Structures are given as structure tokens and as C-alpha cells.
Chain A
Amino acid sequence: MSALAAAIVDGHVVAKRNLIKIKRVPEVLVFVLMSPIMFVLLFAYVFGGAITPPDGVNYREFLIGGIFAQTVVFGATFTGAGLAEDMSKGIIDRFRSLPMSRSAVLVGRTASDVVYNVLSIAIMSLTGLVVGWRIRGSLLDAAGAYLLLLLFAYAFSWVMAYVGLLVPSVEVINNASFMVIMPLTFVSNAFVPLEFFPSFLQGFVEWNPVSSVTQAVRELFGNAGPATSEVWAMQNPVLYTLLWIGLILVIFAPLSIRRYMRASMR
């Protein structure tokens, strides 16, 4: 069996095990799924009045695209925490003593978290509908938006998988991932339009992949027109996001697998 086939076959077994755990301890999921709802309410009703997007777009409409992006980026923490926990439990020694694929634990973890991401995006959509967000483009474009979100979520899972393997314990993962996630999501166009940033930050905002995912889903859901920014990333947000997804996977998948093998040799 090729290494890739083995990783998929064994990864599937590990993913199934992860899903059983979600089923047995659903409390974990409840809290993680609640946070996007909180964000929508917080931003829509607390900050919403202070921020006016360009072209007279309604802020809530503008906001939801950003919160979609923020949700999948934050959701990747779930992957990091799951992996950090795995590494601290005895079961990892069982996995390592088996003639299974060396990357199956990671492949399985990132795969089972797709299910989690589907759930959180669904909850997000419902919350959005409640506060007045609507899909205004074609259904095909909307499907494209959801697919792009899931792909980005999947790729970002690998980033957090790596972080999860770096931290010494599960307790550290939230703080560690905040260091990555906070600047990425807040210094982007997710919550605040580009024009509101001081000029020295605008370059970062325009090229930040979180901005491009946000811009892409806003356009695909028909919540916003083309970006006002002239930079290539903002003018081609879907393509730019896809490039990032590829780049993240190419870098972080091998990096995480190497790290997993080393960390598990302790």
C-alpha cells in the first residue's frame, strides 16, 4: 500500500474514533459552537453602530462574511487541542506500536474536524439568518463560498495541529493559538472595513489571507461588491485564498507529521 493510501485508510479509522469521542462528550462541542453565536451578537449589536462599511452596505450583512472566516480560523484550535490531548494520553503509545501509517493520527484528526467545521458553519449561517443576513447571490456561488470556507478551515487545521504538537500540554493550547489567531483575524477586514485601519496596517490587512477569505465569501454570498482595494489579493480573493490553502498544506502537513514523529519519541 502506498504511503498516501495507508494514511487515508488508517486516518479514516482514527477519524471515526475522534467522532465517537465527540458523541460521548458533546459538552466540548457545545462551548466551541457557542462562541461564533456570541461573536455575531456582540459585533452586530455592540460595535455595529460605530462601523459603517463602504457602498452603504448594511454592517450585519458585512459582518457575517467576516465571522464565517473568523469562525473557521478559531475552530482550528479544536484540532490543536484534540491533538495535544491525544499526545498526553496513553493511547498514543498504542498507535505508535502498531504498523499503521505514521501520519494517520494527524490525517484522522484534521478529517474529523471537518465535521466539526460543517456544524459550526451551519450554526453560523442560522445565526446570520436570524440577525438579517441573506444569501443574495446564486446558489452555485453560495455553494462555492461554503466549499472555500471548508477548504480554508481544513488547511488551517494543519497549522493548529502543528501548534498543538509544539505545546507541552492541553492547557497551553488556547493561549498559544490566540497568539496566532488574534492578529490574523483582528488585523483583517473581517470585522472592520479596510479604510478604518491606520495606513501602516493596511498593507497587512490587504494581503492577510483571512481578509481574502472574508472578501471571497462576501462576494460569493452577494453581500458585497468587488473590494475597494486595488491590490491583487483583494481583486482576486478566491484565487488568492486557494493559493494560501495550497501553501499552508504544503508547508504545515509535512512539518506537523515530522513534529508528531519527533514529539511521540519522547
Chain B
Amino acid sequence: MTEVIVATGLVKRYGDVTALDGLDLAVPEGSVLGLLGPNGAGKTTAVRILTTLLRPDAGTVEVAGVDVLAHPHRARERIGLSGQYAAVDEHLTGYENLEMIGRLYRLGYKRSRVRARELLERFDLAEAGNRPTKTYSGGMRRRLDLAGALVAEPDVLFLDEPTTGLDPSSRTTMWTVIRDLLRQGTTLLLTTQYMEEADQLADDIIVIDHGQAIAHGTADQLKSQVGGERIEVVVADPADLLAAERVVAEVAVGEVHVDEGTNAIAVPVGGGPRDLMVALRGLDVAGVELLDVALRRPTLDDVFLSLTGHVAQPGRERLAGGPGGEAATTVAGGPSGQEVAS
């Protein structure tokens, strides 16, 4: 398979801050690489370098066979970019934005108009197409920006946090849109702070933190790297708990955990589906009725925690500099935050 995006040894410094610290990446044709990392990890810096918007202090970049640092203009003809903040003109309508982009790609007057209409239709913006984009919702703006990246039908696409700041339903819409694109064979590099998003969309994931790759693999590989597969069953009758525990203990590779409040049993296993079948057969023979059963693998959140020793914090703004800002984000973070607050 040919690699469409190749970067080696990317370094970018801002004064004392090293935004990228020797990042390597390669994306084979038609596949999706997810750059996964918390805020400030260096994702945007990497995308900006790959898309000619920024020059690295060191490293090489090749996109679609073009040496990006030597021939940025030629690279721009091949790529589509939708950055972290929607790059749309707020005073122009959605239609005018796309038509302008078409003209600037030199598609010609007619083709630009046709293409603008097509894309508005496809991204469910046809109705809003004649309104200035400052009246658009965040999700609409993101979709318009993505449409802008697609005007010239690029083979290589870069999406920087395409769903950050979107509500769950807009996020799902965006995922569907992206999956449709992938079906057409587009090569995609996507950044995200959401483990689930990388899991959903990416073939291959690079976890980055402080400008360095700290892990690399498929979602499954990353999950198994952390280990910790487990079977979870919920029994219908609390009286069966003891019998059930005895059955599943046979496949356990660690301590079996029984929760009497919820009638749930969690069993660490090593053999995945095979262990699950053994356990289920045993439970059937013992006449235990189940309400629920699952084979759980660790989420990518668990992966991140085990790799970096801290949990990635989606949506956390790094400029919340003062102690007040920190406290506010912690409180928003959930139960542990409330302890801090009280």
C-alpha cells in the first residue's frame, strides 16, 4: 500500500514550549489515521504543518507525493483542510462561501456554483444556504467548513477536531458525513480528544501527548495493550449469586468481583469470547437465569490513563490560567470536582 501522508521527525517550538517533539506518522492510501490526545498535545500544530500553514523547525513532510515544505502550493492543490475553528466568512452566506472557495480553486464560474449547490445539499445546508453564516449553529458551521474542504474533491483530507464543541446529535451527524466520505476512498488524518471518536472512525491511532507519540496501533491493539478484558453478568435472582460466582470463577484469571446491590458479577478473563462461552454454558447447566451479559474491553480512556498516568480531559481549555479557571473546570468535571468545591 502506498503511503499518502508521511511525516518524519516533526519538531516545532514556541519559545520554551515544545509543541511537537519528533513526531513521525504515515497514513496509507484510503485509510484513516486518528491523532488522539488531550488539549495542548500538539495535534493542531501537526495538522497545520502537514497542511502548509506552518513550517516545522525540523522534519520532513510528504503529502500525495508532494514535498510539502518545498512545494507548498502544489500540496495545497491536493489537500482539503477543515481546521479546529471553522474557517468560514461570517458575513457571506453558506453558498457564497463555497462559491468563493470554488473560484479560488479555479473551478470556473459555472462549476463553482454547481459545486456549491451540490455540497450544500449533501451537508443538509441547502435551506440555510442563503443566510449569512453568522446565523448558523456551531454544527452547521462545522459542516460548511468541511464542505469547503471538499470543494475541489481532494484525495487527502485533514480534519482537526471535527466534533469538538458539538452537541451529541450534531456529532453523530458529523460521523455519518465522515464515514460517507471514507467510502469514496479518501485518505484522512483526523485529530480528536475523544477516545470514542478515534475508535469509531480511525483504522490506526497515534496517541500523542506533549508533542510525542506515546502509543500507536489499531483501537483493538491499544485496548489489548492495557489488558483487563472482563466478563460481566447480572443475575436475575439474588439467590443465584453464589452459584454463579462458583461457575465463572473457573475462567477467571484474577479476583471475581460480586456486587450484591446490583446482582452483578465481574470476572477478569484472558480468553475473550472463548471464556465467555464456557462461562455461559456453565451458567446454563447450573440453571442460573441472567438479565445481562457482556464481554467488556477497556475503553480508550483506560488506555490513555495507563499510558500517561492521567486521564485525557476533553473540552478543557488550556488558557484557563488562573486558579479560578482551574477550579471551574474541575467542578464541571464531575463528582471529584464537587469534593473540591465543598
Contacts and interface: CB of A to CB of B under 8 A. Distances in A.
Interface of B is mostly: loop
Given A25-B91, A94-B88, A99-B73, A13 B55 contact: no
A100 B83 CA distance: 18
A16 B97 CA distance: 11
B51 interface: yes
A90 B85 contact: yes
Interface string B32-75: 00000000000000000001111100000000000000000110
B89 interface: yes
A134 interface: no
B92 A93 contact: no
Contact of B101 (A93, A96, A98): A98
Contacts of A265: 53-55
Nearest to A102: B73
B87 A91 contact: yes
B86 A90 contact: yes
Nearest to B83: A93
A24 B83 contact: no
B57 to A, nearest CB: 13
User: Which of the listed residues B85, B104, B132 has the most CB atoms from chain A within 10 Å of its own CB?
Assistant: B104
A96 B55 CA distance: 13
Interface in B67-113: 73-74, 76-77, 79, 81, 83, 85-92, 96, 100-101, 103-106
Which size class do A's interface residues fall under? Answer: 20 to 34
User: Which of the listed residues B91, B105, B132 has the most CB atoms from chain A within 10 Å of its own CB?
Assistant: B91
User: Which of the listed residues A16, A91, A100 has the most CB atoms from chain B within 10 Å of its own CB?
Assistant: A91
Contacts of A13: 100, 103-104
Nearest to A90: B87
Interface string A87-121: 00111111111111000100000000000000000
Contacts of B100: 13, 16-17
A21 B103 contact: no
Nearest to A23: B91
Nearest to B87: A94
Interface in B101-157: 101, 103-106, 132, 145, 148
Nearest to A24: B91
A10 B103 CA distance: 8
Given A24-B91, A90-B88, A97 B76 contact: yes
User: Which of the listed residues A24, A92, A99 has the most CB atoms from chain B within 10 Å of its own CB?
Assistant: A99
A96 B51 CA distance: 9
A237 to B, nearest CB: 40
A264 B54 CA distance: 9
Contacts of A16: 100
Contacts of A96: 52-53
B53 A91 contact: no
A97 B88 contact: no
A143 to B, nearest CB: 33
A85 to B, nearest CB: 11
Contact of A17 (B51, B54, B89, B148): B89
A97 to B, nearest CB: 4
Contact of B83 (A20, A90, A264): A90
A139 B79 CA distance: 54
Contacts of B92: 17, 20-21
A97 B91 contact: no
A24 B101 contact: no
B96 A17 contact: yes
A91 B106 CA distance: 18
Contacts of A92: 87
Contacts of B55: 265
Given A20-B92, A21-B91, A95 B104 contact: yes
B104 A10 contact: yes
Contact of B88 (A24, A91, A98, A264): A91
A99 B105 CA distance: 6
Contacts of B53: 93, 96-97, 264-265
Contacts of A97: 51-53, 76, 79, 81, 83, 87
A163 B263 CA distance: 71
Given A97-B52, A98-B104, 8 more contacts: A10-B103, A10-B104, A21-B92, A24-B132, A89-B89, A93-B87, A94-B87, A98-B76
Interface of A: 9-10, 13, 16-17, 20-21, 24-25, 89-100, 104, 264-265
- 6 tightest A-B CB contacts, nearest first: A94-B87, A99-B76, A90-B87, A21-B91, A99-B77, A100-B104
12 contacts: A13-B103, A17-B100, A20-B92, A20-B96, A90-B86, A91-B89, A92-B87, A93-B85, A94-B87, A97-B53, A97-B83, A99-B76
